[in-house]
């Protein structure tokens, strides 16, 4: 049995994201790229099941965005950005997942504000004490999701999305 097949066997089954030990963060550049804006989401859930058609699903409550600046957070929740009143969730769903040793090569769709864009990423995966630890990052063109507000083009057109996830063995229906 090859190393990849052995890894795949270790990852079989359904895995649930543990939100208490995980994080979903973003980073964007403002003021013509000079000032970093960092933030995270407080509520999200997800799962991994390599045997399922949609092997990876991550759903984020967009209203739980936090940057440490209350006024900015309110603006990010507004129709200029996430429009949480009409589109309360951000979701990633994989179309394909390929295991290469300790890396998952993932292609899927990121949806927000009623729009959906393709995203590709590599996720580092480790099995530790019967759990999975996954670290993934990608760059997303937020303007393609309808987040086009930018006074004087001060906000860079891409955001960095970072997920640091701990998953535990789980059962049950889709999240």
Q: What is the pTM of this model?
A: 0.85
Instruction: Give pLDDT tens digits for 42-95.
Output: 999 999 998 899 999 999 999 999 999 999 899 999 998 899 999 999 999 999
Q: Which CATH number fits domain 3-167: 1.10.1740.110, 2.40.128.110, 1.10.3720.10, 3.30.365.10?
A: 2.40.128.110
Instruction: Give pLDDT tens digits for 24-48.
Output: 999 886 644 456 789 999 999 999 9
pLDDT at 160: 86
Are β-strands 65-66 and 131-140 bridged in parallel, bridged antiparallel, or unpaired? unpaired
User: Residue 29: enclosing H or E segment and its boundaries?
Assistant: strand 23-30
Contact between 150 and 164 under an 8 Å Cβ cutoff? The reply is: no
Question: Quick one: average pLDDT of 125-139?
Answer: 93
DSSP 124-175: EEEEETTEEEEEEEEEE-GGGGT----GGG-S-S-EEEEEEEEEEE--SS--
Residue 109 has pLDDT above 90, yes or no: yes
How many Cα atoms occupy the beta-carbon half-sphere of 68 within 13 Å? 7
Q: Give the other-Cβ count within 10 Å of 159's Cβ.
A: 20
pLDDT at 34: 59
The helices-and-strands tally (H runs, E runs) of the chain is 2, 11
């Amino acid at each position: 049995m090859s190393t990849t097949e052995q890894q795949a066997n270790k990852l079989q089954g359904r895995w649930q994201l543990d939100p208490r030990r995980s994080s979903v963060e973003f980073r964007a550049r403002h003021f013509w790229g000079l000032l970093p804006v960092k933030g995270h989401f407080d509520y999200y859930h997800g799962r991994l099941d390599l045997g399922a058609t949609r092997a990876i699903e991550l759903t984020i409550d967009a209203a739980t965005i936090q940057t440490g600046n209350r006024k900015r957070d309110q603006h990010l929740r507004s129709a200029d950005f996430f429009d949480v009143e009409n589109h309360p969730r951000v979701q990633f769903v994989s179309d394909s997942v390929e295991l290469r040793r300790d890396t998952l090569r993932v292609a899927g769709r990121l949806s927000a504000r009623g729009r959906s864009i393709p995203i590709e990423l590599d996720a580092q995966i480790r099995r530790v004490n019967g759990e999975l630890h996954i670290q993934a990052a990608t760059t997303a063109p937020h303007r393609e999701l309808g987040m086009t507000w930018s006074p004087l083009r001060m906000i860079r057109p891409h955001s960095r999305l970072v997920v640091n996830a701990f998953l535990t063995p789980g059962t049950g229906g889709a999240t």
